[in-house]
Amino acid sequence: MSLRISTAPHVHSPVTTQRLMLYVLIALLPAAAMGVYAFGFSALLVLGLACVSCVCAEFLWQKIARQPVRVGDLSALVTGLILGLNLPPTAPWWMVVIGSFFAIMIVKQLFGGLGDNFLNPALAARAVLLASWPVHMTHYVTPTFFKAGVDAVATATPLATKGASLMELFLGQIPGTIGEVSKAAILAGLLILLVTGTVRWRIPVILVASVFCWTWVLTGSPDAALMAILSGGVLFGAVFMATDYVTSPITNFAQIVYAFLAGLIIVLIRQYGSYPEGVTYGILLMNIASPLLDRFLPQRIYGYQKEVKKA
């Protein structure tokens, strides 16, 4: 008889990395579907190209570096889809490919691959594309919803024009990147993430609340605060990017501080910065700070209680 010998535990939770990534992909689907519905075939092309490029980049790197190929863990696919959703539907194909390769090869693999990157790959790629090709990256069009006879019209982001109504913002009848267009779809995604236990509520809820409160404080207007959380990438960033495991803190209190400060930075950039790109930099800056937050805000450990309670 040959028996396997191992140390305990002998059972494991059925939730694997691959399954968690699958949950994220499923949670992204409503936003992706609404993006394609709003912007048409070009949006589908951008999303598809980003996904394929990211997976190819990951596969190529792991082959070249002679590492075990871990494309099957779906993490590259998640990066691809998130990056695609962060681009305008009019993004040229070469920009999508460059962004994908930058996300996977430079941001993720050069720093050690899955789990060791200190920035969110999709977000860092977005920041680089934005700095390199600002015109392409901010070439937003009004959603057409496949209506016949309506041409796509280039417009500025509503943050620049302040023209859209709250309902329009919520349902996605405004220009923007593919993923951020429908807030309803993003909230559906959040619900999926929470129900499957993929992310905890603290980061998304506190980040959005922080943006709301700080905008209210700085502008004195609750309407402007509501506008702030429904426009631009706040909701998408809070739900899908600030919650990235690798680049967000772990302990409860550190997560609260992280989300709160990210919200503050977003509002400061939006209110006082020279251009409306708060979400990307707000989250990236807090990504960098998250190992420090984990270090300085640890959980209380059992066995170090000060006084002994009376019976």
* Residues of the shown chain interacting with another protein in the complex, contacts defined by CB under 8 A: 1, 3-13, 15-17, 19-20, 70, 73, 75, 113-116, 245-246, 248, 250-251, 294, 298-305, 308-309, 311
Residue with Cβ nearer another protein (74 or 83): 74
Give the residue among 123, 136, 112, 121 at the shortest CA–CA distance from 55: 121
Q: How far is the CB of 12 from another protein (least distance, A)?
A: 6
Please state, in angstroms and rounded to a whole number, the distance separating the CA atoms of residues 78 and 276.
Answer: 26
Whole-number minimum distance, CB 87 to another protein, in Å? 25
Please give the single-letter amino acid code of residue 180.
Answer: E
Question: Facing residues of 140 across strands?
Answer: 155
Q: State in angstroms the smallest separation of the CB of 200 from another protein.
A: 8
Closer Cβ to another protein, 112 or 222, answer by number: 112
CB of 252 to another protein, least distance (A): 8
Nearer to another protein, 210 or 287 (CB): 287
d(CA 20, CA 193): 9
C-beta of 198 vs 215, nearer to another protein = 198
Structure tokens at 72: 């099957």
CB of 285 to another protein, least distance (A): 18
Residue 112 CA: distances (Å) to CA of 67, 160, 250 = 11, 38, 20
* Burial bucket for residue 12 (CB in 10 Å: 0-12, 13-18, 19+): exposed
Q: How far apart are CA 74 and CA 113, in angstroms?
A: 13
Q: Which is nearer to another protein, 135 or 301 (CB)?
A: 301
Q: Give least dist CB 15 to another protein, A.
A: 5
Q: What is the DSSP letter of 91?
A: -
How far apart are alpha carbons 25 and 16 in whole angstroms? 14
In the complex, what is the shortest distance from the CB of residue 255 to another protein, in angstroms, rounded to a whole number?
8
Report the residue number, 73 or 277, with the smaller CB distance to another protein: 73
Nearer to another protein, 135 or 311 (CB): 311
What's the closest the beta carbon of residue 18 comes to another protein, in angstroms?
A: 8
Q: Which is nearer to another protein, 70 or 136 (CB)?
A: 70
